[in-house]
Amino acid sequence: MKKIAILGSTGSIGTQTLAVVREQKDIKVTAVAAGSNTVLLEEQIREFKPKLAAVWEEEKAKDLRVRTADLDVKIVSGMEGLLEAAAEQEAEMVVTAVVGMLGIRPTVAAILAGKQIALANKETLVTAGHIIMPLAKENNVRILPVDSEHSAIFQSLQGEDENEIHKIILTASGGPFRGKTKEELAHISPADALKHPNWSMGRKITVDSSTLVNKGLEVIEAKWLFDVRPEQIQVTVHPQSVIHSAVEWKDGAVIAQLGTPDMRLPIQYALYYPKRRTLSGKRLNFTELGTLTFEDADTDTFRGLDLAYEALRRGGNAPAVFNAANEKAVAMFLDEKISFLTIPKIIEECMEESVFLENPDIEQILWTKDTVDQYIESRW
Ligand code: NDP
Ligand code: MG
């Protein structure tokens, strides 16, 4: 029986990972970690019986200890608890499904403990890819992508070890505001931005999809996962989200992975790689689909994508600045403190004003985040 730990078990990816575990019946969950949703976490503990569960706040952990006193589970808290869950002894694999740069330290801890990584938490690779990828190699750890586009690319690469990637075609749905003008976007509310046409996801990534920042983060994520240059990654808007991404080879062949939009497929592929398993749910039917369409991204209206390419070209801590500014700006937008169009403005200004560090270590990346947070708080 395969043993896994899930960081962010109560979120969108976390619960879908548990849905796969529930359906397949031959994976044991040894550790789970969540932020504050102890109601769902308790249900998960009762159903999946992990040995260890981490909750962010000690107050909540205390309460959960009382509620789970009848079970054989250790409840831990804080960053220390999250790190303990990431390195839980029995787990062979860690699913990283927390949001944001919070994922950096537990991902490092899991790699150092020799765990295979099923990576959903893209912000960790975006900001610390230059540390994570070599560290994984040194520790014989495979980083298996969970992000649907990167899983599609990874699936398209199977059996191609002898060949060098010519180009990556990263597809984007275009989000809920595709085709809208800047004027139309001026009064977008959080509720508008939280409606994604094809995918049901956590709040932060749903907003990122509506600004195209998510695609920008995915460009940087692809650079680290597949060792390509920025100019080898082409973003194409494909509103139906059926072609999940593709690889072009030097002879012009394009290999893609297609499917209905369902995150359980990339999650399951990462959990069982290189084996495929049966998965319940809707199958693709070409004649029902009829037409698939493609267009270029509107990078004038949605500035986030170009800013991500710029951060990638600059390197060093520039992607960390890009990402940290976005995390903070999205949180402020969701709190109705700034407007939708202020999100890219904040990112751009932070990229202009931040101190550049050529080869930041983990401490300097986290320092970059704190500095960006303080700057934004003082300005907006
Ligand atoms: P959600 O917001 O749905 O879930 C986030 C999870 O992290 C929750 O379990 C949350 O717990 C937990 N969490 C929050 N704070 C802490 C903390 N301090 N310590 C421990 N756990 C914490 O996010 P998603 O599942 O949508 O996204 C997770 C990651 O996967 C992101 O990096 C995202 O970009 C990436 N991703 C997501 C996709 C999707 O379809 N959702 C697709 C591709 C990538 P609680 O519920 O208690 O707050
Ligand atoms: Mg994606």
Residue 353: its pLDDT value, please? Answer: 97
Mean pLDDT of the chain: 98
Give pLDDT tens digits for 154-164.
999 999 999 99
Beta bridge partners of 87: none
Residue 313: its pLDDT value, please? Answer: 98
Residue 199: its pLDDT value, please? Answer: 83
CA-proximal residue: ligand 1, atom 19 (nearest): 35
Give pLDDT tens digits for 239-294.
999 999 999 999 999 999 999 999 999 999 999 999 999 999 999 999 999 999 99
Give pLDDT tens digits for 155-188.
999 999 999 999 999 999 999 999 999 999 999 9
User: How confident is the chain (380 residues) per 10-residue block, as mean pLDDT?
Assistant: 98 98 98 98 98 98 98 98 98 98 98 98 98 98 98 98 98 96 96 90 97 98 98 98 98 98 98 98 95 97 98 98 98 98 98 98 98 97
d(CA 182, CA 303): 11
Among 98, 121, 269, name the best residue to mutate to test ligand 1's pocket (greatest count of ligand atoms within 8 A of Cβ): 98
Q: Is 10 in the pocket of ligand 1 (CB under 6 A)?
A: yes
Among 88, 154, 205, 219, name the best residue to mutate to test ligand 1's pocket (greatest count of ligand atoms within 8 A of Cβ): 205
Which atom of ligand 1 has the smallest separation from the CA of 9? 9
Residue 212: its pLDDT value, please? Answer: 98
Residue 196: its pLDDT value, please? Answer: 84
Closest CA to 242 of 261, 256, 255: 261
Task: Report whether 7 contacts 33 (CB < 8 A).
Answer: yes
Among 6, 12, 58, name the best residue to mutate to test ligand 1's pocket (greatest count of ligand atoms within 8 A of Cβ): 12
Task: Report whether 237 contacts 296 (CB < 8 A).
Answer: yes
Residue 256: its pLDDT value, please? Answer: 98
Task: Report whether 128 contacts 365 (CB < 8 A).
Answer: yes
Residue 198: its pLDDT value, please? Answer: 86
Q: Is 263 in the pocket of ligand 1 (CB under 6 A)?
A: yes
Distance 221 CA to ligand 1 centre (A): 17
